[in-house]
A and B are shown apart, each in its own frame.
Chain A
Amino acid sequence: MKFDTPATTNPIDQLKVVGKPVDRIDGPLKTTGRAPYAYERHDAIPDIAYGYVVGAAIAKGRIVSMDLSRAKAAPGVLAIVTAAEAGKLAKGDFNTAMLLGGPDIQHYHQAIAIVVAETFEQARAAAGLVKVDYERAKGTFDLVSAKDGATKPKDGGPDSAVGDFEAAFAAAPVKLDETYTTPDHGHAMMEPHASIAAWKGDKLSLWTSNQMIAWGAGDVAKTLGVPRENVRLMSPFIGGGFGGKLFVRADAILAALGAKAAGRPVKVALTRPFMFNNTTHRPATIQRIRIGTDRAGKITAIGHESWSGDLPGGGPETAVQQTRLLYAGENRMTKTRLAVLDLPEGNAMRAPGEAPGLMALEVAVDELAEKLGIDPVEFRVLNDTQVDPEKPSRPFSQRRLNECLRTGADKFGWSRRAKPGQARDGRWLVGMGVAAAFRNNLVMKSAARVRLETSGVVTVETDMTDIGTGSYTIIAQTAAEMMGVPLTRVNVRLGDSSFPVSAGSGGQWGANSSTAGVYAACVKLREAVAGKLGLDAAQAQFADGRVKVGNQSLPLEQAAASGPVTAEDFMEYGDLTKTHQQSTFGAHFVEVGVDADTAEIRIRRMLAVCAAGRILNPKSARSQVIGAMVMGAGAALMEELVVDKRIGFFVNHDLAGYEVPVHADIPHQEVIFLDETDPMSSPMKAKGVGELGICGVGAAVANAVYNATGVRVREYPVTLDKLLEKMPVLA
């Protein structure tokens, strides 16, 4: 099915199941420990051996020699595979560095061997006996010093320009020119990357933890040099991804190589201290923002430049993206530059681009509003645009940013916000901050297969994944709505490369795109069912387990009396994303307390107001938003992968060193969804929300800290050491 004209009324609009805050259908499995994750599939395959990955001890250079003799002789060892033994391996389409390094080493903790043994304890101990001699090469590890040598990236339209930014900025009576930095961030999902690999002849089964099954199957096949159809990926439960599991990683490839060498199924989990340097991360940015306004506060010039780094062949953090669309202004420019760094591979993490981009832009906007003496909510409202500011003939499909801001201000008590450094509650300096949230709505082709079983149960199969997002539940809701059955009569099977190819989980496109694919398949199934029952599909109503046309009403399962009825289809998209800019919007409001003595920062209140099309399940969607707010709070206040610029690695590479928020950091959170449908997005009229929640929240926290203390910090994370010297003098 192709979606190329705006949606009109369809069965989803009944909203009998869709749009309801139902409990997740996978909840009982997850809360009782019965949901099996990749490393736990003892049920699927017997006699599994254990693999343990050895990582490079240097950031750049080459392996001179490896001595495996002691490791091979260690108790229980079945096989050791290094690049020398592995034969020719290709680099996956979605990888920047080789997943098995050697002799060349591209980054610290790049995998260089897998040791397979009978037990985990034996594999780990033997891995410690692998002796490696390296020749170290000089690397580049410091973004600040590499900045001037950064170049225009090959892909993705690195520059944009409308009007004459330089002239307009120079002429603006009020202007801001500031530079902000965001550090490298780790996904730090709770389930480490893990895989079990089993070969049957030349066919490979991989139980793994991966957000994008089809990409994954393709890259496993390419890396190993086997036909794509010989690879089966299964990933029904994923313990968090946030972009870190978009791509095949070393666990999957090394499990496959280890299993081949050992002649046994092999399971591999990356250890936590290894993950931060071995896998991908959100790259650090340096961002320069220039905004000029007239005296009334209307933006006349807006410019955003961003620098980030990656390994050779890698890509930039697209931190300027939102600045092309978020505010009005006739003269505009953005610029993205990429430096070559020999740090671990940079790549997508929840809201790549916008998350760090808004951390800078929305602080700049706060600073400018203050210069103008305009309330930051009003400043944003004043500079709203209902059209693509680079191309005014192209409207937004929906844009209710102002309503988000106004609603939030009202609910949060924004009018009680004091001047910087003026509000006090006991030992706490108290401040409020606001930021706009913005993230584009991407639509992706997505397929599904639905089957009416003889029992009347509807089974949905798609390679879509549920990484905690609620895919199982909203897909079940979609099928239930379309087929007129209760939720309990829908069975959803996900994350298997033998199922039709879905949109997968990334870029907050999963919910709308994958359910639209299920919608398409259900439309086909409705036709097939009506045909079986001898009813006119166009007239048929599916409700309460029955199919009705006029006075005729037949039980749904009658269509499957002689066997299951199956339909498969996909949703693909036409030009609506070109004719209309599809984005999601929100406003974050945060109140912080800053300890007057120690400058410790604690969040007191958080509110997000979101306008993101139809909310398919307000309960799981709200969870997406609060979770993203937590991650944004971490980015604002504590998260930083610290680069040792001499050695070239992330120093704080475990969960004690890389601090992410804990319970005590997060207060009760409020989320308001504006009642909205977007007929331009899909028949579901939904948009993404899983990344919107992190967009802007970091800036709202930073702005609140400024409001509390009067100290502006432009280098994230905003930590007490950056405030301390400028804090009010104690009595």
Chain B
Amino acid sequence: MRAFTYERAKSPREAAAAVAADPTARFIAGGTNLLDLMKLEIETPARLVDVNGLKLDEIAPTKDGGLRIGALVRNTDLAADKRVRKDYGVLSRALLAGASGQLRNKATTAGNLLQRTRCPYFYDTNMPCNKRTPGAGCSAIGGFTRSLAVLGASEACIATHPSDMAVALRVLDATVETVTPDGTERSIPIADFHRLPGQTPHVETALARGELITSVTLPRPVGGVHAYRKVRDRASYAFALVSVASVIHKDGSGRIALGGVAHKPWRVETAESSLPRGAKAISEGLLAGARTTSQNAFKLTLTERAIGAAVAEARA
């Protein structure tokens, strides 16, 4: 870990300006991912701006009947919030399926969105990685790919996004609210927040340098049966091989988003009209364009079957 200076931010705007002005600066909140990466020198900030004191830790109703979740609300508190449990069950479920109790107590809403990939080649600094060093090449392609992406990957990167929470937010059409270094506020639909790798896998989100997430808003509840099905080898404390966030209505219509399959939570709205016809039907649209390796091809079958289970459970 490189040496760094540490300071506590006083306001979101100041924090954003400070980080924008200093290319070696990073925000820190829960720290559960950033410190992990700093120990391995995958992240090497020379300055940390602690945003924990910014009072962004409230969950409050919005004018239009939704919820505004402060960027610093801990994963535990968000999952346990009575309103979230009642109206946005898929979000509670996704959070509770992730990490461990200890990590959820520290991890924040914004930090969860900004988690970096768990690709093992990204995590080993001896291995070329386009995310760590643009242009270096991808060691994962042709290597151990069982957990890696089957959708939206590129020749430059086949990493997946590890978040469960983000998959639920995607199915709920959440919006990421930010403050930019010049003090203006911005709303970014969750669909546009995470990026596909393309030729720039190191650019992972729509955030500009220094732009600080202040909250995530959920639109008014959509009803339906909420479920988050996370499939993994180990029963707990493991990243998803595949996960399915689903909101399914009585008439069989609904929404599906996938985790563990791409560089971002995967949702294809145009495919959702085929959901009432069952898992096979929606999977055709959802998984269109999939490119697999011999090690991760199973994710396609698995996804279809997991969606099938979600649909069956919703109908039961």
Contacts and interface: CB of A to CB of B under 8 A. Distances in A.
Please determine if A and B sit in direct contact within the complex, based on CB atoms under 8 angstroms apart. Answer: yes
B21 interface: no
B311 to A, nearest CB: 10
Interface string B155-189: 00000000000000000000000000000000000
Contacts of B306: 597-598
Q: Which of A597, A656, A665 has the most CB of B within 10 A?
A: A597
Interface string B237-262: 11101000000000000000000000
Contact of B124 (A638, A653, A662, A664): A653
A128 B2 contact: yes
A598 B120 contact: no
B144 interface: yes
A129 to B, nearest CB: 10
Interface in B279-316: 298, 301-302, 305-306, 308-309
B233 A651 contact: no
Contacts of A662: 234-237
A16 interface: no
A121 interface: yes
A651 B302 CA distance: 24
B260 to A, nearest CB: 12
A646 to B, nearest CB: 7
A125 interface: yes
B69 to A, nearest CB: 26
A647 B139 contact: yes
A659 interface: yes
B40 interface: yes
Given A652-B120, A664-B236, A721 B1 contact: no
Q: Which of B39, B126, B308 has the most CB of A within 10 A?
A: B126
Given A124-B1, A644-B144, A651-B120, A719 B233 contact: yes
B123 to A, nearest CB: 7
Given A125-B3, A128-B2, A597-B309, A665 B235 contact: yes
Interface string B132-148: 00000001001110100
A719 to B, nearest CB: 5
B120 A661 contact: no
Nearest to B100: A662
Interface string A659-693: 10111110000000000000000000000000000
B193 interface: no
A125 B306 CA distance: 45
A725 interface: yes
A576 interface: no
A659 B240 CA distance: 13
From DSSP, what is the main secondary structure of chain B's interface residues?
Answer: loop
A659 B233 contact: yes
B231 interface: yes
B86 interface: no
A535 interface: no
Interface string A255-282: 0000000000000000001000000000
B83 interface: no
Given A128-B2, A128-B41, A644-B144, A724 B239 contact: no
A600 B146 CA distance: 16
Contacts of B3: 75, 121, 125
Nearest to A127: B41
A273 B241 CA distance: 22
Contacts of B143: 644, 646-647, 651
Nearest to A56: B126
B202 interface: no
B10 interface: no
B123 A720 contact: no
Given A647-B143, A653-B124, A659 B234 contact: yes
Contacts of A57: 126
Contacts of A652: 120, 144
A659 B2 CA distance: 29
Contacts of A597: 305-306, 308-309
Interface string B27-63: 0000000000001110000000000000000000000
Contacts of A75: 3
Nearest to B126: A57
Interface in B206-233: 229, 231-233
Contacts of B88: none
Interface string A55-93: 001100000000000000001000000000000000000
Interface in A619-646: 637-638, 642, 644, 646
Nearest to B235: A664
Nearest to A122: B3
A721 B305 contact: no
B235 A724 contact: no
A657 interface: yes
26 contacts: A57-B126, A75-B3, A128-B2, A273-B40, A273-B124, A427-B309, A595-B309, A597-B305, A597-B306, A598-B305, A600-B233, A637-B233, A638-B233, A638-B234, A644-B143, A646-B142, A647-B139, A659-B233, A659-B234, A661-B234, A664-B236, A721-B241, A724-B301, A724-B302, A725-B301, A730-B305
Q: Can you list the 6 inter-chain pairs with the closest CB atoms, starting with the nearest?
A: A597-B309, A664-B236, A721-B298, A664-B235, A57-B126, A651-B144
